[in-house]
């Protein structure tokens, strides 16, 4: 109704006012487009079926990891950990003990950027340097941890299927090795 009244009033304007109103109408249209784009809902990357978010992880051994570098069609396990966390080290030992179950799953170990100075010592202590199971180890450069961390206890294991959709999140408080075995592929 308001739009029809505006259009009727707009059509009665003379040519000088017409150009002014045309600019105002263009401005209002752009404002509506901007509002719609900001109103779109953000993805909750912690819900089952959510896509793996874009990320940039600085590898401890040099280089980086981004989603396009991971094998397409292969499952992914992202483990958020701290190099100061004993429970995280025990979880890595547990993953090593069932390595034969990880036939196609790619494992990415990621810690916060503030821990980058501790990473090399952690890798040496846990004998991960030449371990092919732990090919991708590094620190979060972007928003990966903020997007997927559930703010529970570390470590957190996020399992993604071959299409890189979230299957399950396990945190340091609620899982046993048997739970991990269910999702290892």
Per-residue pLDDT of the chain in tens (185 residues, 90 and over written 9): 565 565 565 566 555 565 665 665 555 555 445 555 555 568 999 999 999 999 999 999 999 999 999 999 999 999 999 999 999 999 999 999 999 999 999 999 999 999 999 999 999 999 999 999 999 999 998 899 999 999 989 999 999 999 999 999 999 877 788 889 999 99
Contacts for 83 with CB less than 8 Å, ≥ 6 apart: 111, 115, 118, 119, 121, 122
Average pLDDT, the chain: 86
Tell me which residue of 173, 183, 2 sits closest to 95, measured CA to CA.
183
Q: Which CATH architecture has domain 57-183?
A: 3-Layer(aba) Sandwich (3.40)
- My answer on whether omega of the bond before 112 falls inside 30° of 0, hence cis, is no
Q: Within the chain, what is the greatest distance between any pair of CA atoms?
A: 82
What does pTM read for this prediction? 0.77
pLDDT cut 70: percent of the chain above it: 78
H-type alpha helices, 74-115: 86-97
């Amino acid at each position: 109704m308001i739009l029809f009244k505006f259009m009727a009033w707009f059509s009665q304007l003379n040519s000088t006012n017409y150009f002014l109103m045309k600019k105002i109408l263009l401005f209002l249209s752009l404002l509506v487009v901007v509002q719609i784009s900001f109103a779109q809902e953000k993805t909750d990357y912690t819900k089952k079926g959510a896509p793996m978010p874009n990320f940039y992880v600085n590898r401890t051994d040099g280089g980086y990891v981004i989603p396009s570098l991971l094998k397409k069609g292969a499952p992914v396990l992202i483990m958020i950990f701290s190099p100061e966390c004993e429970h995280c080290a025990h979880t890595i030992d547990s993953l090593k003990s069932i390595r034969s179950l990880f036939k196609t799953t790619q494992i990415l170990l990621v810690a916060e950027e503030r821990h980058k100075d501790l990473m090399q010592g952690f890798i040496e202590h846990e004998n991960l340097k030449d371990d092919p199971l732990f090919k991708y180890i590094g620190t979060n450069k972007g928003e990966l941890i903020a997007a997927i961390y559930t703010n529970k206890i570390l470590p957190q294991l996020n399992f993604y299927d071959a299409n890189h959709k979230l299957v399950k999140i396990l945190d340091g408080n609620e899982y046993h090795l048997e739970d991990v075995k269910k999702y290892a592929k």
